[in-house]
């Protein structure tokens, strides 16, 4: 095939966010499927860095011949509390408009552009150049932009789940330019094992998102209940400072272990040796309807029984099976879910249907070309 792909994005790298890991995995597997990939992103923070060695080390990957280019970022607004969101949107629009023009002028035209930025998608679509936008959530403004851009002949959209597709409001005549494609797990790190430790429950992921706690205090307090004394809880994620705060909730008699963030290789081993994984979520529209958590696929790819908050977005994942639902912030419901996991029988056929990142990219390639 030997295609060229530019992944032009407004994201920041390196970062510990799930979306940055997804972007790197997308680039990596496009590269492995006969694409020459260039990742382009703005150097918009003090931590931004386009050094291939730093990126490779942070994301624990071989270079895979990935090209990385950091682009100038000259837009500075004061992030006052009441204007933070509007400032972000303005900067995003201005940078995207200028950068699309400069990239098209300066670099050789690729076979296709790929992006997670609706504004990059919009400005490239106006050039009638092949471009694919991957949509992870919706806002009123984003829906407006997508409905304009999809009208262009060479524009396509990938939605992470069917709720995003339905709520986007895109007209039926453009549905042949839309793909619903869920996430997948990276086989480089995640795998199942026969050495499962019975009644070992694990949570792996960030402790905070957008300044909000991911219910870790609720989970820790639930595991202090005598009914769960035979179960061990392991938590992995967050900074040293964040885990230090969580440890204040734990006593020496609790079967709870709290750890800071570890490497993906180490995490893969921890997951493969555990029996149950916990999938939390926020009580907002994005979490309830639109999220397609990468963590679910990592858990599933590691052969875990999965405890999940009972939200529509998580119910959509039940097609893969091996899920046990509980009511958000309901201690009794959560405890019963943990207890039921012991007798819950995994369906191996469901595991075989869990997509990998490579499966995901192959489906996208078939859709794009």
- DSSP H/E element including 247: helix 240-247
Tokens 């790190």 locate to 189
The contacts of residue 145 (CB under 8 Å, 6+ apart) are 118, 119, 121, 122
Burial pattern 241-255, b for ≥16 Cβ within 10 A else e, equals ebbeebeeebeeebb
Please give the model's pTM, rounded to 2 decimal places: 0.91
Which pair of structure tokens corresponds to residue 359? 């499966």
What kind of architecture, by CATH, is found in domain 200-352?
3-Layer(aba) Sandwich (3.40)
For residue 84, the tally of other CB atoms under 10 A from its CB is 12
In the chain, which segments carry CATH 3.40.50.2000? Answer: 3-184+357-368, 200-352
**Is the four-CA dihedral 210, 331, 309, 142 of positive or negative sign?**
negative
Hey, is 114 helix, strand or coil? strand
Instruction: In whole angstroms, give the CA distance from residue 142 to residue 117.
Output: 10
Which pair of structure tokens corresponds to residue 41? 């992103």
**C-alpha to C-alpha distances, 82 to 85, 89, 95, nearest whole angstrom:** 8, 13, 22
Burial pattern 328-347, b for ≥16 Cβ within 10 A else e, equals beeeeebbebbbebeebeee
Instruction: In whole angstroms, give the CA distance from residue 332 to residue 218.
Output: 12
pLDDT by residue for the chain (369 residues), tens digit each?
Answer: 689 999 999 999 999 888 999 999 999 999 999 999 999 999 998 899 999 999 999 999 887 678 999 999 998 755 666 677 888 899 999 999 999 999 999 999 999 999 999 999 999 999 989 999 999 999 999 999 999 999 999 999 999 989 999 999 999 999 999 999 999 999 999 999 888 999 999 999 888 765 566 788 899 999 999 999 999 999 998 888 888 888 888 888 789 999 999 999 999 999 999 999 999 876 666 667 778 889 999 999 999 999 999 988 888 888 888 899 999 989 999 999 999 999 998 877 766 788 999 999 999 999 999
Out of 2.60.40.420, 3.30.1280.10, 3.40.50.300, 3.40.50.2000, the CATH code matching 3-184+357-368 is 3.40.50.2000
């Amino acid at each position: 095939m030997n295609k060229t792909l530019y992944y032009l994005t407004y994201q920041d790298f390196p970062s510990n966010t799930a979306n940055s890991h997804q972007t790197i995995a997308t680039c990596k597997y496009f590269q492995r499927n006969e694409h020459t990939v260039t990742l382009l992103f703005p150097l918009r923070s003090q931590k931004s860095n386009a050094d291939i060695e730093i990126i490779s080390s942070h994301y624990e990957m071989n270079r895979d011949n990935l090209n990385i280019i950091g682009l100038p970022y000259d837009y500075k607004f004061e992030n006052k509390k009441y204007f933070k969101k509007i400032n972000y949107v303005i900067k995003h629009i201005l940078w995207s408009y200028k950068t699309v023009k400069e990239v098209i002028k300066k670099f050789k035209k690729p076979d296709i552009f790929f992006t997670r930025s609706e504004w990059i998608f919009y400005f490239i679509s106006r050039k009638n150049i092949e471009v694919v936008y991957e949509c992870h959530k919706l806002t009123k403004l984003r829906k407006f932009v997508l409905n304009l851009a999809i009208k262009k002949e060479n524009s396509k959209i990938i939605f992470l789940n069917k709720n995003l597709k339905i709520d986007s409001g895109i007209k039926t005549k453009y549905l042949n330019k839309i793909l619903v494609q869920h996430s997948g797990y990276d086989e480089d790190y995640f795998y199942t094992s026969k050495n499962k430790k019975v009644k070992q429950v694990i949570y792996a992921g960030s402790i905070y998102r957008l300044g909000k706690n991911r219910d870790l205090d609720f989970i820790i307090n639930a595991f202090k209940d005598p009914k769960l004394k035979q179960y061990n809880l392991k938590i992995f994620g967050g900074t040293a400072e964040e885990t230090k705060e969580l440890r204040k909730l734990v006593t020496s008699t609790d079967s709870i272990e709290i750890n800071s963030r570890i490497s993906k290789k180490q995490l893969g081993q921890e997951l493969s040796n555990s029996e149950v994984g916990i999938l939390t979520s926020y009580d907002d529209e994005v979490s309830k309807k639109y999220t397609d958590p990468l963590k679910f696929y990592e858990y599933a790819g590691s052969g875990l029984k999965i405890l999940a908050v009972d939200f529509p977005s998580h119910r959509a994942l039940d097609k893969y099976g091996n899920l046990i639902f509980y009511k958000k912030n309901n201690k009794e419901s959560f405890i019963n879910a943990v207890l039921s996991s012991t007798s819950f029988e995994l369906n191996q056929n469901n595991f075989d249907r869990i997509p990998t990142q490579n499966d995901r990219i192959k489906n996208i390639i078939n859709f794009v070309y």
